[in-house]
Amino acid sequence: MKYLIIILFFFICLSANAQLRGLNRKMSEPAKVILTYAGVVALNAIGDGLNDNGIKDWGHLCNAASIGTLLMSFTWIDYNKNKWWIYPLTYTSLRFTLFDYSYNLTRGLPLNYIGGTSFYDQFMQKLNPPETYLMRGCALVVSISIPIKFLK
């Protein structure tokens, strides 16, 4: 529980830092997109994990913070309509990379644990866990490099 609070506090600080305007030092657009979407995914995974552990009040709070952060991201991210495809690609690849690990850490499960209820879990079970590390690593590279390359 102590680690969960530290992780939650870390992402709240990142979100607050991204919202600060008027300072001489501004965060770049790719950093805002990557950190905001990583925070949204982590908050959603932590919320789901807490709900599944029976800690419903904190779980619902984390899920609401996740949705609220995503909905309010337009206030600190300057979305480029001509490059609209970057945002869903970044979010999807970050979700693929971070969601299961954040969920497993929240639940106290092994890091490479894969459930068996959803179609996604059943597909991932057909792969060996070391292969999922490689796929998730490639998705992490995509989720970081695409915004840096195209949102300068």
pLDDT tens, 122-136? 888 888 766 788 889
Q: What is the pLDDT of residue 27?
A: 87
Q: What is the pTM of this model?
A: 0.81
What's the mean pLDDT when you consider all of the chain? 87
Question: What are the extents of the domains in the chain?
Answer: 2-19+26-150
Cβ-count burial 83-116 (b if 16+ within 10 Å, e if not): eeebbeebbebbbbbbbbebbbbbbeeeeeebbe
Confidence tier at 7 by pLDDT (50, 70, 90): confident
Q: What is the pLDDT of residues 33-43, one digit of tens each?
A: 999 999 999 99
Lowest mean pLDDT among 24-33, 52-61, 98-107: 24-33
